[in-house]
Amino acid sequence: MAQSGSHEGPLLSGVALRYASALFELAREANAVDAVAGDLGRFEQLIRGSEDLQRLIRNPIFTAEEQSRAMDVLLTKAGIAGLAGNFIRLVASKRRLFALPDMIRAYQDLVSDAKGIVRAQVILAEAPSDTVLNEIKAALRDVAKADVAVDVKIDPSLIGGLIVKMGSRMVDASVRTKLNSIRLAMKEVR
């Protein structure tokens, strides 16, 4: 089953999964699953790259009409139409834009599940080289015994190392965690 990456709780996950499932079924019927995934992925990148767009999506002060108008302009400029564009417009009209990033992740999870691909989130202190990323993908593919789609996030507070989340499993091999463990061990020695 798809899992939302949100920390907002089960209510938001349920909303995101319901919307994503409905979109997935429509996309499958229209033979447009990959096209919709591509459009949603592009829109997700727009969200990540714009603090103004993040504010528009999360701030309840904007009316549904204001959000819908802004989405129309943005979708036109980004060239996102069809099912994905209509979906985002619907979400805006229903005042659910705050859940859109989770809906996109849930849709991506449904696509991966349908294709037999395991999704993994890898958090690193800095952007990896292509060589390092390929080594990580190969290691995860060996563990999962399936193709793995890797979502890379950067968190400089890790100092070094990485955190891998795949399904219900998580491995924290970050320098930050190791230093915290040493700090705790030193406190116990005192």
| Domains held by the chain: number | 2
Pairwise CA distance, residues 98 & 91, whole Å: 9
Domain that holds residue 128: 117-189
pLDDT of residue 167: 83
Burial 89-110 (b: 16+ CB within 10 A, else e): eebbeeebbbbbbbbbbbbbbb
pLDDT at 11: 57
Q: State the average pLDDT over residues 75-86.
A: 97
Domain membership of residue 49 (yes or no) is yes
For 73-190, list the strands marked E by DSSP: 118-124, 148-154, 161-166, 169-174
Range with lowest mean pLDDT among 8-12, 61-65, 133-137, 175-179: 8-12
Q: What percent of the chain has pLDDT over 90?
A: 89
Q: What is the mean pLDDT of residues 50-64?
A: 94
Task: Decide if pLDDT at 10 tops 90.
Answer: no
Same domain (yes/no): 24, 66:
yes
Residues 122 and 109 in one domain: no
CATH of the domain at 16: 1.10.520.20
Residue 81: phi, psi to the nearest 5? Answer: -130, -160
Let me know whether 127 and 139 are in one domain: yes
Q: Within this chain, do residues 133 and 109 fall inside the same structural domain, yes or no? A: no
Judgement on whether residues 136 and 75 belong to the same structural domain of the protein:
no
Instruction: Note whether 99 and 123 are same-domain residues.
Output: no
Tens digit of each residue's pLDDT (9 = 90 or more) over 117-134: 999 999 999 999 999 999
Taking residues 51-71, what's their average pLDDT? Answer: 94
Q: What local confidence, expressed as pLDDT, does residue 12 receive?
A: 62
Does residue 4 lie in a domain region?
no
8 A C-beta contact, residue 158 and residue 188: no
Mark whether 123 and 103 lie in a shared domain: no
- Tell which of 113, 129, 164 closes a domain: 113
Instruction: Return the minimum-mean-pLDDT range out of 5-9, 60-64, 80-84, 125-129.
Output: 5-9
Residue 96 lies in a domain: yes
Longest pairwise C-alpha distance within the chain:
66
